[in-house]
Structure 1
Amino acid sequence: MARVVRFHRHGGPEVLRIEDVEVPPPGPGDVRIRVKALGLNRAEASMRKGTYIETPTLPSGLGLEAAGIVEAIGDGVDGFAPGDAVSIIPPRSMPRWPAYGELVTFPAELVVKHPPSLGFEAAAATWMQYLTAYGALVDIARLGRGEPVVITAASSSVGLAAIQIANSVGAVPIAVTRTSAKKEALLAAGASHVVASEEEDLEAGLKEIAPAGVRVVLDAVGGPIFTPLTAAMSRGGILLEYGGLSPEPTPFPLLEVLAKTLTLRGYLVHEITGDPERLEAAKRFILDGLASGALKPVIARTFPFERIVEAHRFLESGEQFGKIVVTV
């Protein structure tokens, strides 16, 4: 038996329960992991509330990131052995492969031996944020040296990962955050510029920083912010939308799109994790960045496993700067 987190109905953090379940041995091609740390993501809160891109059968587990020690391997698994320190690439289906538990089983292709210098908490805070940012900025947008890039929700784990990746390729990260409360922290985290969207004119601020326009925008928010973002973009620019945090409708900026031939593109990290060749390239980029120190996960706060409800409340508070990690 092992403790896992499940929910039997959709709702707030209070619906999460820690329950004892039987964990079967790993099947062919699978790796069973004794979890040491979990990384929390907004996607998990969305699935818990019933607003995620997947609708699970209840009761359901959840979770996309974990790090721990290999406990057992299934038939046909090469490259892993009991005792290896590993972390998990986010799976395509959270209900199928939930990560919130003391023991979890994942396909071997989603398991990575992380660098020895990376502790379990940092390893659990790595893959979702860096894969998401890498896929958008490097794989799709081909962000280049000297280019300005706008990053909204900049104090989130993905936002901070995007700032680090932009710096690693020589680009100029422009952080967009709601208020100036996190401005100094964002500058310290590597942002070249910070614009507080609720305190200043976003369009004017971006145009002052990048008079020729911004080719690449990474947005997690949607809603009314689309208007000033596209107004500040350059001809042929691309806006990658990966979140939709705003509860307000998202306008389609028709005139800007036509006049500048813009691309407004939905993006999911599954585009990278579901393509073996692109995933291998992403893993090399991220592991090299972790080894060199160019990429370093920012952990906002850690919670013990028993306080998963409190951790989810903090996740939804918007107060965090970086990744929330749960230790097991």
Structure 2
Amino acid sequence: MSRVVVFDETGAPEVLRIVDEPVGDPGAGEVRIEIEAVGINRLDQMMRAGMPPRPIRLPHARLGIEATGTIDALGSGVEGWAIGDAVIVTAVPDMDSNGTYAERIVLPVDRIVARPDGLDVTSAAALWVAYSTAYGALVEKAAMRPGDHVLITAASSAVGLAAIQIANQIGAIPLAVTRSAAKKDALLAAGAAAVIVTDHDDVVEATHRYTNGAGADIVLDSVMGPGLAELANAAKPFSGTLVTVGWLDPRPAPYPASPITMIRYMSFEHTLDPTVVHRIAAFLTAGIRTGAVHPIIDTVFTLDDIVAAHHYLEQGHHTGKIVATI
């Protein structure tokens, strides 16, 4: 049996409950994983609250798209892995039926990568979604290069902090945007070259000031909403790129009139592609080895406290990742 978080209707965090469910043996090309910790993401909140990007299966829906643990059973035909290997889950496109908020899950073997040496369980649970999203958007899609100025909205989020570290690893110059001046010191400590506080700074003006009037080469936006058109003016005309990776503001987002490249990035574009997953894993492993990549953890809950974890997520005061241990 496996303890699993499920919900029968969408709504507040209290719709989440823990049940015992049988977990089967892995089939051909599959592995069973004993979960040690899971990362908690905005997508989880959106699905639970009834605002998913696609329809979900109710009742008895599950949550969770990332986790770390160890292999405890191998299906036929699985090579290169052994029972006891420490792994990270890279993609769960069917999270509403096989989400990672559970003690054990069965996945295709191409949905895992090895957990990098030296990465503790909590950090490993916080790694994949944030860093693969930032890497995919900045490196694979926007072709970030050394010396590029990269403007990062929602910079204190897990994706924002990952983007700061990845920009620094490449040799780019991360400019962090936050609503709260209280987060400025933490963002500078995380590696931001400068911090723009929207409570009293004009983002476009400040970006042009920090780039000597040129504008950002890349804007990485997790917010969208009505401010998207104005944010686009912070990018370099004609050669700048605006990549959106989230939708923290659910209101309609007008298409920018600025002459820039606009990209709507969805991480499953790459996390379901084994070739790109290999590149992401190699990049992150190198960053962990050199210290350039180090997941920032805000708070750790347990699976039994998953309702409290979702309440904390909704408050939006965290800096970095929220993790639940199993």
TM-score range with shorter-chain normalisation?
over 0.9
- In 2, the alpha carbon distance for the partners of 1:248 and 1:109 equals 36
Residue 135 of structure 1: CA displacement? 0.4
* Secondary structure of 1:265's aligned partner: strand
Other-structure match for 2:47: 47
Cα distance in 1 for partners of 2:230, 2:208 equals 10
- Residue 134 (1) aligns with residue 131 (2): no
What's the secondary structure of 2:289's corresponding residue? helix
**Partner residue of 1:70?**
71
Structure 2: gaps of 5 or more residues: none
1:236 aligned onto 2:234? no
Asked if 1:247 is matched to 2:250, the reply is: yes
**2:216 equivalent among 214, 217, 222:** 214
Equivalent in the alignment of 1:308:
306
For the pair 1:143 / 2:144, whether they are aligned, the reply is: yes
Q: CA deviation at 1:101?
A: 0.3
Structure 2 residue identity aligned to 1:163: I
CA distance in structure 1 between the aligned counterparts of 2:88 and 2:267, rounded to whole angstroms = 17
Report the 3-state secondary structure (helix = DSSP H, G, I; strand = E; otherwise coil) of the residue aligned with 2:177: strand
The separation in 2 between residues aligned to 1:271 and 1:166, in whole angstroms, is 21
Structure 2 equivalent of residue 153 of structure 1: 154
How far did residue 54 of structure 1 move? 2.6
1:96 to partner: Cα distance: 4.0
Query: How far apart in 2 are the matches of 1:62 and 1:324?
Result: 15
Q: How far is the alpha carbon of 1:40 from its aligned partner? A: 0.6
Deviates more, 1:233-242 or 1:172-181: 233-242
How far apart, in 2, do the equivalents of 1:93 and 1:239 lie? 29
For residues 175-324 of structure 1, what are the structure 2 equivalents within 5 Å?
175-210=176-211, 211-234=213-236, 235-254=238-257, 256=258, 260=259, 262-324=260-322
Contact 2:91 2:272 in 1 (8 A): no
Secondary structure in 2 matching 1:46: helix
Q: Share of identical aligned residues, percent?
A: 44
The amino acid that maps onto 2:55 is: T
Give, in whole Å, the separation in 2 of the partners of 1:284 and 1:96. 30
- The letter for the 1-side match of 2:305 is R
Aligned equivalent of 1:93: 94
User: How much has 1:236 moved relative to structure 2?
Assistant: 2.2
Moved over 6 A (4+): none
Q: 1:66 touches 1:99 (CA, 8 Å); kept in 2?
A: yes
Give CA-to-partner distance per residue, 1:259-318, whole Å, 9 cap, x none.
x3x122211111111222222111111111112211011011000110000001111111
Provide the C-alpha distance between the structure 1 equivalents of 2:316 and 2:69, rounded to a whole number of angstroms.
28
Code of the residue aligned with 2:101 in structure 1: it is: Y
Say what the alpha-carbon RMSD is for the aligned residues. Answer: 1.2
Other-structure match for 2:16? 16
Give the CA deviation at 1:198: 2.7
**Contact 1:179–1:199 (CA<8 Å) still a contact in 2?**
no
CA-to-aligned-CA distance 1:82-113 (integer Å, 9 cap, x gap): 11111110222322431010111111111122
Query: Is this contact kept in 2: 1:2–1:103, CA < 8 A?
Result: yes
Q: Secondary structure at the match of 1:131?
A: helix
* Residue pairs, 1:73-84, within 5 angstroms: 73-84=74-85
- The answer to whether the 8 Å contact 1:90/1:127 transfers is no
Further displaced range: 92-101 or 167-176: 92-101
In 2: Cα distance, 1:96 partner to 1:290 partner: 32
Shift in Å at residue 60 of structure 1?
A: 0.7
Count of paired positions? 323
**Structure 2 length-normalised TM:** 0.96
Q: TM-score normalized by structure 1? A: 0.96
More deviation, 52-61/166-175: 52-61
Q: Is the 8 A contact 2:35 2:102 kept in 1?
A: yes
In structure 1, C-alpha distance between the alignment counterparts of 2:3 and 2:97, rounded to whole Å: 17
SS at the partner of 1:223? coil
How far did residue 199 of structure 1 move? Answer: 2.2
Q: Does structure 2 retain, via aligned residues, the 8 Å contact 1:91–1:273? A: no
Matching residue of 2:61: 60
1:38 aligns with 2:41: no
Looking at structure 2, the residues matched to 133 and 252 of structure 1 have their Cα atoms a distance apart, in angstroms, of 22
1:251 Cα shift?
2.1
